[in-house]
Structure 1
Amino acid sequence: MHRIGYVLKVYPRFSETFVVTEILAREAIGADLRIYAMRPTTDARFHPELARVKAPVTWVPRPTNANRFWQQVTASTQDPEILANFASILPELTELEASDVAQGVALAQRVKADGITHLHAHFASLAGRMAWVASKLTGIPYTVTTHAKDIFHESVNPIWLRRICGDAAQVLAISRFNEGYLQKVLTDTGANLVLIYNALELSRFEYVKPSLPTGTLRIAAVGRFVPKKGFSELLGAVAILAERGVDFSLTLGGDGELDEQLRQKVEQLGLTQQVTMPGPLTQAEVRQLLRSSDVFVAPCVPAGDGNMDGLPTVVLEAMACGAPVVTTSVTGLPEVIRNGETGLLLEPGDVPALADALASIADGDVDTPALAEAARQLIEQNFDSNFQAQRLNTLETTEAP
């Protein structure tokens, strides 16, 4: 009996819809799953799809002082195998925060008791480290899905990235761009790289063929309010539209560290009548927004700290729903948005070009229905969560012991 343990930093997390989609697809084909989270959520809103997840959830205790650290480590190393292996990886453990060590050991004890046969971590950062520790202590193999911040950000520890990926049974890349990047940074680690895109539960994303815009150009953008999303550049572009007299409205959904800064920029640019910022949106609300919009914009840019988007799920959702997409050539985005075929692809940070692209759509110069049709076909071919679940199941149940 194969029993898969999902190792996550936070569960549930509002912004990580791809995790819930993946879990639901795997449960639909009969996978026996357990979820282990290192942190409780601080989100104020939740996607209704969470209610469909059957896997039990364990929040691994995180000690806050030395006494609790030693209590947790002592309690978790009563198992002779875990205790013996703990000593063997002690040099590596000294590189970690004490709370990481305590959680990793506690995770090992719990997954062994739960009969887990394979661990699967999302992100090669905290979750990846915890999966590595638990695997080394128990002998349970693990895979890790890498994304963006965990491999691109300036804070990434290259020693731990190479260690986590090198010791994993498989390392999953969510785009060909990421796969190529990892091939370089993981040279000589023996990492087994596999390309598996994040996917969608297509039954929840009904395709509606768009019409050419008439009247007000309805623009949508959704994401976390962080530099790599490029929302400041988007506001600059729509300000140009306003100067040109283009009739438009922009709905900018999400929240994050730049929330106040973006709201101030809307006021400074005199766009309060055209720009609406409703806060974070559920997937159902995103779908409704996409169906009522003429164009979806994902103006991603490389951030100053090295962070970049991997392949934003909301772009795939827009393509699935029939919302024409305008985005930038960052990481994996050119793999889905082929300029003039499945959307419009621009250079990141080119504000005038973004304004021109939106103006051309407003003028009816872009065959947006044709773009949307081709985009939906691509999503159906390559981003079905049922296919993703089958591939993951095959990987994790046929690996060498």
Structure 2
Amino acid sequence: MSAPRIAVVVKGYPRLSETFVAQELLALEARGLPLAIWSLRRPTERDRHPMHARIAAPVAYLPEYLHEAPLRVLAGLGQALRRPRLPRLLGLFLRDLARDPSASRLRRLGQALVLARELPGSVAHIHVHFLHTPASVARYAALLTGRGWSFSAHAKDIWTTPDWELREKLADAAWGVTCTRDGLRRLEALAQPPRALPSVPPEGGGPPPRLALAYHGLDLARFPAPPPPRPPRDGTDPADPLRLLCVGRMVAKKGHDDLLDALATLPAGLHWRLALIGGGEIRAATEARAAALGLADRVAFRGALAQPAVIAAMREADLFVLPTKPAPGGDRDGLPNVLMEAASQDLPILATAFAGTPEFIASGTHGLLVPPGDPAALAGALARLARDPDLRRRLAGAARARLVADFALDPGIDLIAARLAASAGLEPVREAAARPAGACACAS
């Protein structure tokens, strides 16, 4: 394997909920890019997706808490004292600290010092996933070492990072991509200088835009063909209830509370079972809510699962439900990859008209969308879809056709790969159409 030329900084690796990160890494390696992964945190989950085993890039872990690795931090500081760019870094850090006087900010500096010291000399460019904490570490290390850096922005990082911090990171980064038009519009509005940065290259050539849209897409080669047509369950048979599925971390923005509230209002004669896949900070509260609503015997909490188990659950379900909404702190989703995964299995989708979801699903054509944070509307759509298996079938078929036609993996990966190769001084990578068949094996 070639010496790594590109360092990819992530908050945690591997993570079951961040299949899009693994997908990108695997696809970039398939295009011949030599990568090294630097993670701010060690994994907290026992399971891994099969795709993680296929990623060849070496993984290094920065000290999550500085007191846990004092020698590494001191060695990083010692080397930084000999670097001519240290005064510039300290000036930037002190400005950041004045606006964000937190222990987290100090930790980011310490991690950046370790990263700057331990990056191999072969690494020519730093790319980071998420514009909040990981981008701070990447930015500090890049400034100290004289490297360029770029980013892939996603969801929480776009909507919860302070405007001042986003503006400055956007100004400093060589380039960046994000995975929804919703997020792109926000970043373009904050970009400095205040000029519109197009999401597609200008006609007639010229330099590419610094900000670009790159949907995650889905590598259908990794997924089984859709299952045979599902039985036309309509919830009338208590012995064969409608099978509902929701996959998402147990956090406020996923809308599990709205889903449970909606289910509690469905007619008694509508028989259903719900499987909830995902772990997270509000699982206990969500279980308690289900019990308080009298739903405990019909809701199965299955925890975080590896992707094969998730796909198996999708193949057994009759309807996929994901009622995302804004969280109290401003956190929100982008375009959840799990929607595309459901579509790959001809599983009809009920979701909310929020964030990036409408970029994939047109309500009434590829699925049904209801307003976010509206359990009554969600209940109405659930009842409608439960009683109409033919509608579910039509919507599912249209969503899969949309996935195949417009949300393939390669276009976004080709864009990112070309920019990374140029930034790292590598030969241009071949785009998907020019690669031999089977050369790219990617993940979601």
Task: Give the TM-score of the pair, scaled to structure 1.
Answer: 0.92
- Partner residue, 2:131: 124
Give the Cα separation in 2 of the matches to 1:331 and 1:188. Answer: 26
Does residue 27 of structure 1 match 2:29? yes
From 47, 50, 68, the equivalent of 2:49 is 47
Give the Cα separation in 2 of the matches to 1:48 and 1:59. Answer: 21
Deviation, 1:187, is 4.7
Write the deviation string for residues 168-203 of structure 1: whole angstroms up to 9, x where unpaired.
121211101111121223352677210001232311
- Partner residue, 1:73: 76
Aligned residues: 394
Does residue 85 of structure 1 match 2:85? yes
Give the Cα separation in 2 of the matches to 1:73 and 1:117. Answer: 19
Give the Cα separation in 2 of the matches to 1:162 and 1:284. Answer: 40
Matches within 5 A, 1:91-240: 91-94=91-94, 95-96=96-97, 97-111=105-119, 113-153=120-160, 156-188=161-193, 192-208=210-226, 210-211=229-230, 213-214=232-233, 215=237, 216-240=241-265
> Any gaps of 5 or more consecutive residues in structure 2?
98-104, 198-209, 426-444
Identical-pair percentage: 35
Give the Cα separation in 1 of the matches to 2:391 and 2:85. Answer: 61
Deviation, 1:227, is 0.8
SS at match of 1:398: helix
Deviation, 1:210, is 4.1
Give the Cα separation in 1 of the matches to 2:366 and 2:108. Answer: 44
Q: CA RMSD in A?
A: 2.3
Per mean C-alpha deviation after superposition, the further-off stretch among 17-26 and 59-68 is: 59-68
Specify the code of the residue in structure 1 equivalent to 2:313.
L
Give the Cα separation in 1 of the matches to 2:43 and 2:79. Answer: 24
Task: Give the TM-score of the pair, scaled to structure 2.
Answer: 0.83
Deviation, 1:396, is 1.7
Deviation, 1:383, is 2.9
Give the Cα separation in 2 of the matches to 1:275 and 1:66. Answer: 43
SS at match of 1:145: strand
Give the Cα separation in 2 of the matches to 1:35 and 1:364. Answer: 47
Matches within 5 A, 1:217-296: 217-241=242-266, 243-296=267-320
Specify the code of the residue in structure 1 equivalent to 2:146.
G
Specify the code of the residue in structure 2 equivalent to 1:20.
A
Deviation, 1:305, is 1.0
Specify the code of the residue in structure 2 equivalent to 1:99.
R
* Inter-CA distance 24–70: structure 2 relative to 1 (3 Å threshold): closer
Give the Cα separation in 2 of the matches to 1:283 and 1:69. Answer: 35
SS at match of 2:310: helix
Q: Is the 8 A contact 1:69 1:99 kept in 2?
A: no
SS at match of 2:410: helix
* Inter-CA distance 366–92: structure 2 relative to 1 (3 Å threshold): farther
> Any gaps of 5 or more consecutive residues in structure 1?
none
Specify the code of the residue in structure 2 equivalent to 1:188.
P
SS at match of 1:135: helix
